Structure 1
Amino acid sequence: MPRNKGITDEMIIEMYKSGMSYKEMMPIVGLSSRGIYNVLSKHNVPIRKQFSGQPRKHKVNEDFFKVWSHEMAWVLGLFVTDGTVNGHTHSITFSQNDERILKLIAKYMEADYVLMSTGKTRTVPTLVINSREIKKDLAAMGITHNKSLTLPFPKVPEKYLSSFIRGVIDGDGWVQDRGYVMNVTTASIDFAKGIISVFISWNLRTEMSYELTKTGREIYRVWVKGKESISMLSTIIYSNCDDNYNYKKRERLSKWIK
């Protein structure tokens, strides 16, 4: 039977590693159980025994995004910038070059540490979280598949804004090595407006720029400039954290703190 259009080997491997059974995968990918097995074998994916009934699921706290905490806010900030909602399965993924951060995410979410296989098109470590409930909770915040253009700024309680913004900066922020400038890049104008609104409320020197990519895509950058504002930003976002931050970015953001 022919494979459904747009289904790649990597997508099949991701579905399988998220805990789906052959029976669940067959109508999505358009292959027989033998065809799915052949794809997995080709990529040397360890094959688990197939049982009838409910497929094996990876452990995770499915209520994680229901209760606000500084850890949850930080993980949410990372997800809206570096995470992906799978359009074919009930799974989400986090991609980070720093595996220490992925392990912290798994720890906070009480999740099994399951990484997607790397290859020619995927070189960055990617953590897989499989949960219909978590996907539903994220959707309730407006965070859905292909979120980059439509991402809203979540309704984060003021108490946890510092941790959320730290996650956003850890996920998609750029910090100048000299520590004078920081920016966050997004394709969503609503998300950009939300970030700049927070920075204004913190009395930071901030501005937003706009540009078109070579493909005609709109990109927004929210800036914080000047060592006083950068130092103030650093003081705010690192006030409620343990070890959950990007080491290099904190070093640069804190360069001018006396």
Structure 2
Amino acid sequence: MPRNPGMTDEVIIKLYKSGMSFKEMGPIVGLSDRAIRGVMYKHEILMNREQYSGQPRKHKVNEGYFKVWTHEMAWVLGLFVTDGHVNKQFHSIYFSQKDERILKLIAKYMDADYVLSATGPTKTTPTLIINSKEIKKDLEMLGIISNKSLSVPFPNVPEEYLASFVRGVIDGDGWVQKTGYVMNVTSGSQDFAAGLLTVFQSWQLRSELTITVSPAGNPIYRIWVKGKYELPKLAEILYTNATTDNFIFYKRQRMSQRIDY
């Protein structure tokens, strides 16, 4: 059974040390459990019995993180809805972010071990791994399941934490024009897009929803806020309850550049 391209011993070991089980690694590296175990033996890597039996290694995490609403939790949830992934087969969730500072902050908020998935030729974006059956269940209660991109609903977020949640959404999948006149969020879910549009409208922002079609034939929804004075207004809403660092810096700067302090 040949290895998949780019799957060197070093990459395989990194995948294992990231917390993935042999069963999870198999399709990625193109090797059987026995062959993967052989790589570990070859390099004298200490193995976790549960991990090679098919269960992801348990890492430290606050199991009840998504049970209690806070501004930090709402922001993390917004990031997860846009940049997260639920493993269908295992009790694992993943956050992907180009800005690794954000992943470290998520791990800090969730009281979680900072464990990143290995990168490779086709996977360059840093990805934080959280292994927890309870957290996966709590996300499902919020409507966030595996393969969520086309069907995720807009969660029932308490009004008090709505701005923090939307800030997370924009940090995850938002685009802000350099000049600060236009912002949009892209989603594959009609329900989520409609929910976000309703929020922007409730904030009395000049907003609209457009629809295009992907090469695969799936609809792509973009929720827009446009206007010289609209983005500063949005920024004042979004960053009211932000700390000094729980946001993407350049997005805040672009939205806030016309605020008269």
Same-fold call, TM cutoff 0.5 = yes
Q: 1:152 deviation in Å?
A: 0.2
CA distance in 2, matches of 1:101, 1:139: 23
Gaps of 5+ in 1: 4-8
CA offset digits 1:89-147 (Å, max 9, x no partner): 21111111111100000000000000111101100111111111111111111101100
Q: In the alignment, is the contact (CA less than 8 A) between 1:18 and 1:91 conserved in 2? A: no
Relative distance call for 1:13 and 1:213 in structure 2 (3 A) is farther
- Other-structure match for 2:71: 70
Structure 1 runs, 4 residues or longer, greater than 4 Å off: 12-22, 28-33, 39-42, 51-56
1:37 matches 2:42: no
- Other-structure match for 1:6: none
- Other-structure match for 2:161: 160
CA distance in 2, matches of 1:110, 1:241: 19
The two structures have a TM-score, normalised by structure 1, of: 0.87
Relative distance call for 1:158 and 1:198 in structure 2 (3 A) is same
Query: Per the alignment, in what secondary structure is the counterpart of residue 227 of structure 1?
Result: coil
Gaps of 5+ in 2: none
- Other-structure match for 2:220: 219
Return the match for 2:249 from 247, 250, 253.
247
- Other-structure match for 2:210: 209
- Other-structure match for 2:61: 60
1:14-163 pair list within 5 angstroms: 16-17=16-17, 19=19, 25=23, 33-38=33-38, 47-51=45-49, 56-163=57-164
Q: In the alignment, is the contact (CA less than 8 A) between 1:70 and 1:163 conserved in 2? A: yes
- Other-structure match for 2:197: 196
Q: 1:32 deviation in Å?
A: 5.9
CA distance in 2, matches of 1:67, 1:107: 16
Q: In the alignment, is the contact (CA less than 8 A) between 1:18 and 1:130 conserved in 2? A: no
Query: Per the alignment, in what secondary structure is the counterpart of residue 58 of structure 1?
Result: coil
The one-letter code sitting in structure 2 at the alignment partner of 1:48 is L
Relative distance call for 1:40 and 1:202 in structure 2 (3 A) is farther
Query: Per the alignment, in what secondary structure is the counterpart of residue 184 of structure 1?
Result: strand
Query: Per the alignment, in what secondary structure is the counterpart of residue 150 of structure 2?
Result: coil
Counting matched residue pairs gives 250
Q: 1:41 deviation in Å?
A: 7.5
The one-letter code sitting in structure 2 at the alignment partner of 1:251 is Q
Q: 1:20 deviation in Å?
A: 6.2
CA distance in 1, matches of 2:19, 2:192: 33
The two structures have a TM-score, normalised by structure 2, of: 0.86
The one-letter code sitting in structure 2 at the alignment partner of 1:217 is N
Q: 1:47 deviation in Å?
A: 3.0
Q: In the alignment, is the contact (CA less than 8 A) between 1:21 and 1:50 conserved in 2? A: no
Q: In the alignment, is the contact (CA less than 8 A) between 2:117 and 2:128 conserved in 1? A: yes
Relative distance call for 1:58 and 1:216 in structure 2 (3 A) is same
Q: In the alignment, is the contact (CA less than 8 A) between 2:74 and 2:165 conserved in 1? A: yes
- Other-structure match for 2:238: 237
CA distance in 2, matches of 1:14, 1:154: 35
- Percent sequence identity over aligned pairs: 61
Relative distance call for 1:20 and 1:256 in structure 2 (3 A) is closer
CA distance in 1, matches of 2:242, 2:236: 11
CA offset digits 1:7-36 (Å, max 9, x no partner): xx79x87984464666xx49x979764223
